[in-house]
Chain A
């Protein structure tokens, strides 16, 4: 299940934003309108699992 959170001022863009964490655990942040301007900025943050490998026989 995805979940969202929003804020009035993103620390980088200074714009209202909504961050949605999808069912895979990755974040998509949409930056919204402020004043008369409209931003279409969209960020992505992938939360990558560590690749694990084993050598030899245990």
Chain B
């Protein structure tokens, strides 16, 4: 099956983070970027670490107001402000680590056919993809308009750490 079908965390890039490995992707680094792809892209969340990286060219989607390589987290929210990603915790059972952020809102964009996008680390030569965000199965386009992503409950991702406190 080709194309987007789900959101997901890149397992080996996550392991690199948890292990504080070389050039480990830092989830809350506002120099990280978010880029878009078409449905010619098939996310592989089980990819090797070497393959869990941003690569320029097709199937990336970009256009007016949305640069190739994506937009820095520091400028993804309304008015080119930061998403301010952060970790919060829900301590009532279950114990859940929450990755929270402001919503994406980039004005005056013209892009065509975005099926999903990725946050990726900005560390030069180690552009690890952290997470893929699936848009649900359609290609979305803007014309001189705002491209926005609203996170359910303000959360990009959650990690259930334990069923207890």
Contacts and interface: CB of A to CB of B under 8 A. Distances in A.
For this complex, into which size category does the number of interface residues on chain B fall? 20 to 34
Contacts, number: 96
Given A26-B136, A41-B144, A44-B140, 18 more contacts: A22-B138, A24-B136, A28-B140, A40-B143, A41-B145, A43-B146, A44-B148, A46-B104, A46-B136, A46-B140, A47-B150, A48-B133, A48-B156, A51-B133, A51-B158, A53-B157, A53-B160, A58-B162
A26 B140 contact: yes
Contacts of B9: 51, 53
Interface of B: 7-9, 104, 131, 133-138, 140-153, 155-163
Contacts of B163: 58
Contact of B149 (A22, A28, A40, A46): A46
Interface in A12-58: 12, 22, 24-26, 28-29, 31, 40-56, 58
B150 A46 contact: yes
Contact of B7 (A28, A42, A43, A48): A48
How many A residues are at the interface, by size bracket?
20 to 34
Interface of A: 12, 22, 24-26, 28-29, 31, 40-56, 58
Given A50-B156, A52-B157, A42 B143 contact: yes
